[in-house]
Amino acid sequence: MFLILFIIVIALFIAMLFLNVYFRVKVFKVYKRLVDNRVEFGAAHLFNEEKMKQEVLSIYPEHEADIRTFVNYIRYSIRMATVLIFLITMLGALLMYFR
């Protein structure tokens, strides 16, 4: 049982590292386009759709696709990292129990 849990924790940790690299590459491509076009918005806009529409998309309507892509990548990566961290923590606690 210990070996199986240990392998699962290691696999989840590797998955988290892969997820980090994958989204970093995808996010930075879109981020570079936004920076090149001088599109600016804050962290509050990432999590508040209404604020994003009113304050950012109204100013930069021609870059809406890139903005939405960037925001979706950031949100998805945060969600996936949260799930993986939770699973690693829970399985790590189980490992401590069975050890």
Kindly tell me if the per-residue pLDDT of 99 is higher than 80: no
pTM for the model stands at 0.78
Concatenated DSSP letters of 3-20: HHHHHHHHHHHHHHHHHH
Tens of pLDDT, residue by residue over 22-77, are 888 888 999 999 999 999 988 889 889 899 999 899 999 999 999 999 999 999 88
Residues 79, 68, 43: CA angle, nearest 5 degrees: 60
pLDDT at residue 92, rounded to an integer: 84
CB neighbour burial string for 25-34, b if at least 16 within 10 angstroms, e if fewer: eebeebbebb
Confidence of residue 91 (pLDDT cuts 50, 70, 90): confident
- Mapping DSSP onto H, E and C, the string for 17-64 reads HHHHHHHHHHHHHHHHHHHHCCCCCCHHHHHCHHHHHHHHHCCCHHHH
Q: How many other β-carbons are positioned within 10 Å of the β-carbon of residue 57?
A: 16
For residues 5 and 17, what is the distance between their CA atoms, to the nearest angstrom?
18
